[in-house]
C-alpha cells in the first residue's frame, strides 16, 4: 500500500487534521514521494515533487502577514509539493489564519499536526511505507517475469507471453504486424472503440520511421504505451498496451522484458522468411526455364500457389519505399492470400490473374511504389511478359506519359 495523505490522516497516532482539503479529493490518494521537515522561508530547493513538507512555523512568527503566507504557499505549490503539515502546540497554538486563507486561495492541502506529534515519526512512517511498497512491487515484478518466462516456453509462445502480460497489468494488449495490421491474439480485452483510430495512427507513424522507438498516448481513459518490435533495420511490428494509469517502474520493467522476448521470437522467424524468399526466387527461375509443373508444386508447398494462366506480370524496381510492401506481401502469403511474388535481384516480380490487377494496383498506390504491368500472358510467354513489364516500369520511372498522380502506372497493353 502506497503512502498517501489519506493513509496518514487515517493513522490515529499521528493526530493529523485536514484543515484545507483539496478541491479534487483524488489528491489525497496520490502517492507521496517522501516527507521532509523545514522551517526555512523557502525550502523548495531541497524538495521534490510529491513530497509532504512539515514545519513548526517559525517563519510565520517573524512574518505573520498575508503577503508572506501567500508567497510561501505559492512557492510550495510551484514546486509541486503535495501538502503542508503545520505543527501546533510548539511555536503556534493554532495554524495562522493568514496561512489557512492562503492555502484555500491556492487550493493547497493544509494539515494540522497536533499534540506535539514528532515529525520523525511521520517521516519514518512514510519511508517505511514507501520501502514496503517497493518490496511488494519488486516481488510482483519477479513473479510476473517468471510467469512470462514460462509462457515463452509454450508452443504458442508469443501469444502466451502477450496474454500473460495483459493479465499481469490488468489492461489490454494489442499486437500489430509490420504492415500495421492487428494480429489476432487470444486476449480477453479489446482496444476501447474510442481509441482505435488514434492507436492505429500511432502504430503506422511508428512503423514509418523504420527505426526502433517507443511512444505514449494519454487519454481520458488512461495511457497507451507503444513500442516497436524487431531489429533497428527491420521492424517486425508494434506492441500497444493500454492501462487506466501510467505504468510505474515495475510495470515498465515488465513491458521491457516482454518486448525483449517478443523481439527474439520474431527475429527467430526471420531465417524462415529468408528461406521462403529464396524458394520463391527459385520458383520464378523454374517458370522462366519452362519447368511449370515443378514450379507449381513448389509454390503450392510454399503456401503461395501460382495463379491460373493467363497472368499479368508486374515489376517494381528497387526503392526505399518497397520494404513495407514486401513485408505486407509476406504477411498476406502467410494468411493464404495475395499474389505470388518473388524478389529477383533488385526487382520485385508479381504474378497476378487479370481480374486481380486493379486490387494489386491499389496496394502499390498505398505504398507509393512505381511499377509496370504486362499484358495477359501464358506460362510459355513469361519471359516476354517480364521484359514488357520491365519496359513499362522503366518508362514510368523516367517520367514518361504513362505516369499517374500516385506514381503508380499500368501502361496500355494489348
| DSSP annotation string for 121-140 | HHHHHHHHHHHHHHHHHHHH
Bridge partner list, 353: 311
| pLDDT at residue 32, as a whole number | 95
73-76 LR contacts (CB < 8 Å, sep 24+)? 73/99, 73/102, 73/103, 73/105, 73/106, 73/108, 74/106, 75/42, 75/44, 76/44, 76/47, 76/108
CATH fold for domain 272-397: Alpha-Beta Plaits (3.30.70)
Burial class (CB in 10 A: 0-12, 13-18, 19+), 25: exposed
| pLDDT at residue 187, as a whole number | 67
Say if strands 51-55 and 182-183 run parallel, antiparallel, or are unpaired. unpaired
CA 386 to mean position of chain CA atoms: 42
Q: How far apart are CA 167 and CA 182, in angstroms?
A: 19
Which CATH superfamily includes the segment(s) 5-117?
HprK N-terminal domain-like (3.40.1390.20)
Please, what are the averages of pLDDT over each run of 10 residues along the chain (414 residues)? 91 95 94 94 94 95 91 96 96 95 96 95 95 92 90 77 87 82 71 81 82 76 82 77 85 86 68 75 90 89 86 79 71 75 86 88 83 90 91 73 35 38
Q: How far apart are CA 183 and CA 236, in angstroms?
A: 12
Q: How far apart are CA 364 and CA 386, in angstroms?
A: 18
Q: How far apart are CA 373 and CA 217, in angstroms?
A: 42
Cell reading at 113 = 499536526
Q: How far apart are CA 370 and CA 260, in angstroms?
A: 36
For the chain, the maximum distance between any two Cα atoms, rounded to a whole number of angstroms, is 103
Minimal CA–CA distance to 226: which of 37, 346, 247?
247
150-266 is classed CATH 3.40.50.1100? no
373-377 LR contacts (CB < 8 Å, sep 24+)? 373/312, 373/313, 373/314, 373/315, 373/410, 373/411, 373/413, 374/312, 374/313, 374/314, 374/413, 375/312, 375/413, 375/414, 376/310, 376/311, 376/312, 377/309, 377/310, 377/311, 377/312, 377/313
Residues 191 and 199 sit within 8 Å (Cβ to Cβ): yes
b/e sequence 318-352, b meaning 16+ C-beta within 10 Å = ebeebebbbbbbbbbbeeeebbbbbbeeebbbbbb
CA 36 vs CA 121, 232, 336: distances in Å: 11, 45, 64
Instruction: Break the chain into its structural domains and give their ranges.
Output: 5-117, 150-266, 272-397
What are 285-310's pLDDT values in tens digits?
Answer: 999 899 989 988 888 887 788 989 89
Q: How far apart are the first and last CA of the chain?
A: 76
Phi then psi dihedrals of residue 308, to 5 deg: -75, 145
The answer to whether the peptide bond before residue 310 is cis (omega within 30 degrees of 0) is: yes
Contacts of 380 by beta carbon, 8 Å cutoff, 6+ apart: 290
Residues 129 and 8 sit within 8 Å (Cβ to Cβ): no
Q: Helices 66-78 and 97-106 meet at what angle, rounded to 10?
A: 40
Neighbours of 121 (CB within 10 A): 12
State the sign of the Cα–Cα–Cα–Cα dihedral 20, 22, 27, 33. Answer: negative
| pLDDT at residue 313, as a whole number | 92
Residues 36 and 43 sit within 8 Å (Cβ to Cβ): yes
Contacts of 97 by beta carbon, 8 Å cutoff, 6+ apart: none
Q: How far apart are CA 310 and CA 218, in angstroms?
A: 52
Grid coordinates 504474378 are at which residue?
A: 351
Residues recorded for the chain: 414
Amino acid at each position: 500500500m502506497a503512502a498517501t495523505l489519506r493513509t496518514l490522516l487515517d493513522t490515529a497516532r499521528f493526530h493529523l487534521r485536514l484543515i484545507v482539503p483539496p478541491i479534487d479529493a483524488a489528491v489525497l490518494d496520490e502517492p507521496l514521494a517522501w516527507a521532509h521537515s523545514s522551517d526555512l522561508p523557502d525550502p523548495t530547493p531541497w524538495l521534490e515533487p510529491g513530497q509532504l513538507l512539515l514545519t513548526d512555523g517559525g517563519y510565520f512568527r517573524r512574518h505573520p502577514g498575508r503577503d508572506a503566507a501567500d508567497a510561501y504557499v505559492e512557492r510550495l505549490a510551484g514546486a509541486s509539493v503535495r501538502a503542508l503539515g503545520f505543527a501546533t502546540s510548539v511555536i503556534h497554538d493554532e495554524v495562522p489564519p493568514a496561512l489557512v486563507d492562503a492555502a484555500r486561495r491556492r487550493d493547497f492541502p493544509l494539515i494540522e499536526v497536533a499534540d506535539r506529534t514528532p515529525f520523525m515519526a511521520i517521516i519514518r512512517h512514510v519511508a517505511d511505507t514507501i520501502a514496503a511498497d517497493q518490496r511488494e512491487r519488486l516481488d510482483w515484478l519477479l513473479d510476473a517475469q517468471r510467469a512470462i518466462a514460462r509462457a515463452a516456453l509454450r508452443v504458442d509462445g508469443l501469444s502466451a507471453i502477450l496474454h500473460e502480460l495483459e493479465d499481469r497489468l490488468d489492461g489490454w494488449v494489442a499486437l500489430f504486424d509490420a504492415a500495421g495490421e492487428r494480429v489476432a491474439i487470444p486476449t480477453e480485452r479489446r482496444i476501447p472503440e474510442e481509441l482505435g483510430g488514434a492507436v492505429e495512427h500511432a502504430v503506422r507513424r511508428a512503423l514509418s520511421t523504420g527505426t526502433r522507438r517507443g511512444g505514449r498516448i494519454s487519454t481520458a481513459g488512461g495511457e497507451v504505451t507503444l513500442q516497436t518490435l524487431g531489429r533497428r533495420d527491420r521492424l517486425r511490428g508494434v506492441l500497444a498496451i493500454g492501462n487506466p494509469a501510467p505504468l510505474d517502474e515495475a510495470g515498465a520493467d515488465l513491458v521491457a522484458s516482454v518486448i525483449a522476448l517478443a523481439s527474439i521470437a520474431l527475429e527467430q522467424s526471420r531465417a524462415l522468411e529468408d528461406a521462403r524468399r529464396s524458394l520463391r526466387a527459385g520458383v520464378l527461375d523454374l517458370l522462366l526455364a519452362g519447368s511449370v509443373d515443378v514450379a507449381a508444386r513448389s509454390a503450392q508447398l510454399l503456401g503461395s500457389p501460382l495463379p491460373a494462366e493467363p497472368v499479368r506480370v508486374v515489376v517494381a524496381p528497387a526503392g526505399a519505399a518497397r520494404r513495407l510492401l514486401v513485408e505486407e506481401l509476406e504477411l498476406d502469403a502467410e494468411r493464404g492470400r495475395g499474389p505470388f511474388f518473388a524478389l529477383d535481384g533488385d526487382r520485385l516480380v508479381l504474378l497476378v490473374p487479370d481480374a486481380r490487377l486493379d486490387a494489386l494496383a491499389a496496394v502499390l498506390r498505398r505504398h507509393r511504389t512505381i511499377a509496370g504491368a504486362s499484358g495477359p500472358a501464358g506460362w510459355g510467354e513469361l519471359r516476354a511478359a517480364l521484359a514488357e513489364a520491365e519496359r513499362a516500369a522503366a518508362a514510368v520511372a523516367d517520367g514518361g506519359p504513362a505516369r499517374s498522380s500516385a506514381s503508380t502506372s499500368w501502361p496500355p497493353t494489348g
